[in-house]
Protein backbone atom coordinates (compact mmCIF):
# COMPACT_ATOMS: atom_id res chain seq x y z
CA UNK A 1 0.00 0.00 0.00
CA UNK A 2 2.83 2.40 0.86
CA UNK A 3 4.54 1.83 -2.47
CA UNK A 4 1.24 2.44 -4.26
CA UNK A 5 0.95 5.88 -2.64
CA UNK A 6 4.63 6.76 -2.92
CA UNK A 7 4.90 6.51 -6.72
CA UNK A 8 2.28 9.19 -7.54
CA UNK A 9 3.86 11.47 -4.94
CA UNK A 10 7.29 11.12 -6.54
CA UNK A 11 5.82 11.75 -9.98
CA UNK A 12 4.04 14.87 -8.68
CA UNK A 13 7.25 16.17 -7.08
CA UNK A 14 9.07 15.67 -10.38
CA UNK A 15 6.42 17.56 -12.30
CA UNK A 16 6.40 20.44 -9.83
CA UNK A 17 10.17 20.73 -9.77
CA UNK A 18 10.28 20.81 -13.58
CA UNK A 19 7.45 23.30 -14.01
CA UNK A 20 8.76 25.63 -11.30
CA UNK A 21 12.32 25.85 -12.67
CA UNK A 22 13.35 29.45 -13.18
CA UNK A 23 14.16 30.36 -16.78
CA UNK A 24 17.47 32.21 -16.94
CA UNK A 25 17.95 35.48 -18.80
CA UNK A 26 20.31 33.69 -21.18
CA UNK A 27 17.62 31.12 -22.03
CA UNK A 28 15.06 33.86 -22.61
CA UNK A 29 17.47 35.68 -24.88
CA UNK A 30 18.28 32.55 -26.87
CA UNK A 31 14.60 31.72 -27.26
CA UNK A 32 13.89 35.24 -28.53
CA UNK A 33 16.70 35.50 -31.07
CA UNK A 34 17.65 31.96 -32.14
CA UNK A 35 15.36 31.97 -35.17
CA UNK A 36 16.71 35.36 -36.20
CA UNK A 37 20.23 33.93 -36.00
CA UNK A 38 19.20 30.97 -38.16
CA UNK A 39 17.52 33.25 -40.70
CA UNK A 40 20.65 35.39 -40.99
CA UNK A 41 22.79 32.25 -41.30
CA UNK A 42 20.69 31.15 -44.27
CA UNK A 43 21.06 34.60 -45.82
CA UNK A 44 24.79 35.07 -45.31
CA UNK A 45 26.53 31.87 -44.24
CA UNK A 46 27.50 33.22 -40.81
CA UNK A 47 26.89 30.34 -38.35
CA UNK A 48 23.86 30.90 -36.15
CA UNK A 49 25.86 29.68 -33.16
CA UNK A 50 28.46 32.40 -33.69
CA UNK A 51 25.91 35.18 -34.11
CA UNK A 52 23.86 34.16 -31.08
CA UNK A 53 26.97 33.71 -28.92
CA UNK A 54 28.14 37.18 -29.95
CA UNK A 55 24.74 38.59 -29.07
CA UNK A 56 24.85 36.95 -25.64
CA UNK A 57 28.33 38.29 -24.89
CA UNK A 58 28.09 41.74 -26.46
CA UNK A 59 24.64 42.60 -25.09
CA UNK A 60 24.86 40.69 -21.80
CA UNK A 61 21.86 38.69 -22.98
CA UNK A 62 19.97 41.87 -23.85
CA UNK A 63 20.66 43.67 -20.56
CA UNK A 64 23.52 46.00 -21.53
CA UNK A 65 23.01 49.75 -21.78
CA UNK A 66 23.48 49.65 -25.54
CA UNK A 67 20.97 46.81 -25.95
CA UNK A 68 18.35 48.40 -23.69
CA UNK A 69 18.63 52.02 -24.88
CA UNK A 70 19.79 51.61 -28.48
CA UNK A 71 18.78 48.05 -29.45
CA UNK A 72 22.46 47.56 -30.30
CA UNK A 73 23.26 43.92 -29.51
CA UNK A 74 26.72 43.70 -31.10
CA UNK A 75 28.49 46.87 -29.99
CA UNK A 76 28.81 48.20 -33.54
CA UNK A 77 30.03 51.80 -33.67
CA UNK A 78 28.78 54.43 -36.07
CA UNK A 79 31.66 54.54 -38.56
CA UNK A 80 31.72 57.11 -41.35
CA UNK A 81 29.09 55.40 -43.51
CA UNK A 82 26.36 55.24 -40.87
CA UNK A 83 23.41 57.56 -41.55
CA UNK A 84 20.96 56.23 -38.97
CA UNK A 85 20.31 57.25 -35.38
CA UNK A 86 23.20 57.23 -32.93
CA UNK A 87 23.80 56.68 -29.23
CA UNK A 88 26.68 58.10 -27.18
CA UNK A 89 28.32 55.65 -24.80
CA UNK A 90 31.67 55.45 -23.01
CA UNK A 91 33.41 52.33 -24.24
CA UNK A 92 37.15 52.23 -24.96
CA UNK A 93 37.92 55.50 -26.75
CA UNK A 94 40.33 57.85 -24.95
CA UNK A 95 41.14 61.52 -25.41
CA UNK A 96 44.67 62.98 -25.63
CA UNK A 97 44.91 62.92 -21.85
CA UNK A 98 44.01 59.24 -21.63
CA UNK A 99 40.53 59.97 -20.29
CA UNK A 100 37.62 57.79 -21.35
CA UNK A 101 35.27 59.65 -23.69
CA UNK A 102 31.91 58.96 -25.29
CA UNK A 103 31.90 56.89 -28.46
CA UNK A 104 29.28 56.96 -31.20
CA UNK A 105 27.26 53.74 -31.50
CA UNK A 106 24.58 52.75 -33.96
CA UNK A 107 21.00 52.88 -32.74
CA UNK A 108 18.28 50.59 -34.12
CA UNK A 109 14.52 50.40 -33.99
CA UNK A 110 14.60 46.80 -32.77
CA UNK A 111 16.92 43.99 -31.78
CA UNK A 112 16.09 42.24 -35.05
CA UNK A 113 17.43 45.23 -37.00
CA UNK A 114 20.64 44.95 -35.01
CA UNK A 115 20.98 41.29 -36.03
CA UNK A 116 20.48 42.17 -39.70
CA UNK A 117 22.97 45.04 -39.59
CA UNK A 118 25.52 42.83 -37.86
CA UNK A 119 25.33 40.48 -40.85
CA UNK A 120 25.76 43.34 -43.33
CA UNK A 121 28.61 44.78 -41.26
CA UNK A 122 30.60 41.55 -41.61
CA UNK A 123 29.62 40.92 -45.23
CA UNK A 124 30.63 44.38 -46.43
CA UNK A 125 34.09 44.58 -44.87
CA UNK A 126 37.01 42.98 -46.65
CA UNK A 127 38.86 42.12 -43.44
CA UNK A 128 36.17 39.53 -42.64
CA UNK A 129 36.31 37.91 -46.08
CA UNK A 130 38.63 35.04 -44.93
CA UNK A 131 35.89 33.87 -42.57
CA UNK A 132 33.69 32.76 -45.45
CA UNK A 133 36.27 30.25 -46.64
CA UNK A 134 35.87 28.38 -43.33
CA UNK A 135 33.47 25.44 -42.96
CA UNK A 136 30.06 26.74 -41.91
CA UNK A 137 29.77 24.16 -39.15
CA UNK A 138 33.22 24.84 -37.66
CA UNK A 139 32.25 27.27 -34.92
CA UNK A 140 35.69 27.08 -33.31
CA UNK A 141 37.40 28.26 -36.49
CA UNK A 142 34.85 31.07 -36.88
CA UNK A 143 35.26 32.16 -33.26
CA UNK A 144 39.04 32.36 -33.48
CA UNK A 145 38.77 33.87 -36.97
CA UNK A 146 36.63 36.75 -35.72
CA UNK A 147 39.25 37.58 -33.13
CA UNK A 148 42.02 37.34 -35.73
CA UNK A 149 40.11 39.67 -38.06
CA UNK A 150 39.94 42.27 -35.30
CA UNK A 151 36.27 42.15 -34.33
CA UNK A 152 37.04 42.70 -30.63
CA UNK A 153 39.96 43.98 -28.58
CA UNK A 154 39.51 41.31 -25.89
CA UNK A 155 42.42 38.84 -26.37
CA UNK A 156 40.19 36.00 -25.12
CA UNK A 157 37.21 36.90 -27.33
CA UNK A 158 37.42 33.76 -29.48
CA UNK A 159 37.72 31.48 -26.46
CA UNK A 160 34.76 33.17 -24.77
CA UNK A 161 32.64 32.62 -27.88
CA UNK A 162 33.54 28.93 -27.95
CA UNK A 163 32.77 28.52 -24.24
CA UNK A 164 29.38 30.20 -24.70
CA UNK A 165 28.49 28.01 -27.68
CA UNK A 166 29.44 24.82 -25.87
CA UNK A 167 27.73 25.83 -22.63
CA UNK A 168 24.36 26.26 -24.36
CA UNK A 169 24.85 23.77 -27.24
CA UNK A 170 24.38 26.58 -29.75
CA UNK A 171 26.16 24.54 -32.41
CA UNK A 172 22.91 22.59 -32.80
CA UNK A 173 21.50 25.67 -34.53
CA UNK A 174 24.07 25.32 -37.32
CA UNK A 175 22.70 21.98 -38.49
CA UNK A 176 20.59 22.23 -41.64
CA UNK A 177 16.89 21.63 -41.11
CA UNK A 178 15.96 18.54 -43.13
CA UNK A 179 12.39 18.52 -44.34
CA UNK A 180 11.16 14.95 -44.61
CA UNK A 181 9.05 14.02 -47.65
CA UNK A 182 5.35 14.08 -46.91
CA UNK A 183 3.75 10.62 -47.27
CA UNK A 184 0.46 10.92 -49.10
CA UNK A 185 -2.00 8.08 -49.38
CA UNK A 186 -2.75 7.18 -53.02
CA UNK A 187 -6.05 8.32 -54.43
CA UNK A 188 -8.11 5.27 -55.38
CA UNK A 189 -9.45 5.48 -58.89
CA UNK A 190 -13.09 4.65 -59.58
CA UNK A 191 -14.06 5.32 -55.94
CA UNK A 192 -17.32 4.17 -54.48
CA UNK A 193 -20.11 6.71 -54.59
CA UNK A 194 -21.95 7.33 -51.32
CA UNK A 195 -25.22 8.79 -50.21
CA UNK A 196 -26.59 9.33 -46.70
CA UNK A 197 -30.09 8.07 -45.89
CA UNK A 198 -32.51 9.51 -43.36
CA UNK A 199 -31.38 7.17 -40.56
CA UNK A 200 -27.83 8.57 -40.76
CA UNK A 201 -26.46 5.27 -42.05
CA UNK A 202 -24.20 5.33 -45.04
CA UNK A 203 -25.52 3.61 -48.11
CA UNK A 204 -22.83 2.57 -50.55
CA UNK A 205 -23.48 1.78 -54.18
CA UNK A 206 -20.86 0.08 -56.27
CA UNK A 207 -19.61 1.47 -59.56
CA UNK A 208 -20.90 -0.03 -62.76
CA UNK A 209 -17.72 -1.97 -63.52
CA UNK A 210 -17.32 -3.35 -59.99
CA UNK A 211 -18.04 -7.04 -59.56
CA UNK A 212 -18.17 -6.67 -55.78
CA UNK A 213 -21.49 -4.83 -55.74
CA UNK A 214 -24.71 -5.47 -57.51
CA UNK A 215 -26.35 -2.76 -59.56
CA UNK A 216 -29.72 -3.27 -57.87
CA UNK A 217 -28.68 -3.68 -54.22
CA UNK A 218 -27.63 -1.32 -51.49
CA UNK A 219 -25.22 -2.21 -48.70
CA UNK A 220 -24.84 -0.66 -45.25
CA UNK A 221 -21.16 -0.22 -44.40
CA UNK A 222 -19.17 1.74 -41.84
CA UNK A 223 -17.51 4.85 -43.22
CA UNK A 224 -13.73 4.94 -43.20
CA UNK A 225 -11.74 8.16 -43.01
CA UNK A 226 -8.59 8.64 -45.02
CA UNK A 227 -5.80 10.81 -43.66
CA UNK A 228 -2.74 12.46 -45.11
CA UNK A 229 0.23 12.42 -42.77
CA UNK A 230 2.51 15.46 -42.47
CA UNK A 231 5.80 15.52 -40.60
CA UNK A 232 6.94 19.00 -39.53
CA UNK A 233 10.67 19.70 -39.27
CA UNK A 234 11.86 19.98 -35.69
CA UNK A 235 14.45 22.48 -34.66
CA UNK A 236 16.79 21.36 -31.89
CA UNK A 237 16.38 23.46 -28.77
CA UNK A 238 19.46 24.97 -27.21
CA UNK A 239 19.94 24.09 -23.54
235: pLDDT strictly greater than 80: no
239: pLDDT strictly greater than 50: no
pLDDT at residue 227, as a whole number: 43
Residue limits of CATH 1.10.530.10 in the chain = 24-174
* Overall average pLDDT of the 113-133 stretch: 97
Secondary structure string (H, E, C) spanning the chain: CHHHHHHHHHHHHHHHHHHCCCCCHHHHHHHHHHHHHHHHHHHHCCCHHHHHHHHHHHHCCCCCHHHHHHCCCCCCECCCCCCCCEEEEEEEEECCCCCEEEEEEECCCCHHHHHHHHHHHHHCCHHHHHHHHCCCCCHHHHHHHHHHCCCCCCCCHHHHHHHHHHHHCHHHHHCCCCCCCCCCCCCCCCCCEEEECCCCCEEEECCCCCCCCCCCCCEECCCCCCCCCCCCCCCCCCC
Greater pLDDT, 107 or 230 = 107
Q: Are 40 and 115 in contact (CB under 8 A)?
A: yes
pLDDT at residue 188, as a whole number: 53
165: pLDDT strictly greater than 80: yes
Q: Which of 56-60, 208-212, 230-234 reaches the highest mean pLDDT?
A: 56-60
Q: Which of 49-58, 91-100, 216-225 reaches the highest mean pLDDT?
A: 49-58
Q: Are 238 and 169 in contact (CB under 8 A)?
A: yes
Greater pLDDT, 127 or 202 = 127
Nearest-angstrom CA–CA distance, 42 and 49: 12
CATH architecture of the domain with range 24-174: Orthogonal Bundle (1.10)
105: pLDDT strictly greater than 80: yes
Greater pLDDT, 22 or 33 = 33
> What's the N-to-C CA distance of the chain in angstroms?
39
Lowest mean pLDDT among 55-69, 133-147, 176-190: 176-190
pLDDT band, residue 9 (cuts 50/70/90): very low
2: pLDDT strictly greater than 70: no
232: pLDDT strictly greater than 50: no
pLDDT at residue 91, as a whole number: 84
Backbone angles phi, psi at 226, to 5 degrees: -110, 140
118: pLDDT strictly greater than 80: yes
Which residues, listed in sequence order, are joined to residue 226 by a DSSP beta bridge?
A: none
Strand-strand pairing, 202-205 and 219-220 = antiparallel
> For residue range 142-155, what is the model confidence (pLDDT) as tens digits?
999 999 999 998 99
pLDDT at residue 161, as a whole number: 98
The rounded mean pLDDT for the chain is 78
pLDDT band, residue 210 (cuts 50/70/90): very low
Q: Which whole-number Å values give the CA distances from 163 to 49, 56, 59, 141, 157, in the listed order? A: 11, 12, 16, 13, 10
Nearest-angstrom CA–CA distance, 204 and 214: 11
Helix pair angle (48-59, 25-44), 10° resolution: 140
Amino acid sequence: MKSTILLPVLVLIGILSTSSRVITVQERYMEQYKYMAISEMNRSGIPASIKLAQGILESQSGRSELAVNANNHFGIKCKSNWSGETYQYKDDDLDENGELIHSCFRMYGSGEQSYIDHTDFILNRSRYKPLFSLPKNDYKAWAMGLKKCGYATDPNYGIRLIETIEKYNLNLLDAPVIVKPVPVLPVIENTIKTQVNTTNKQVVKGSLNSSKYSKNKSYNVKSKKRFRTFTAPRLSESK
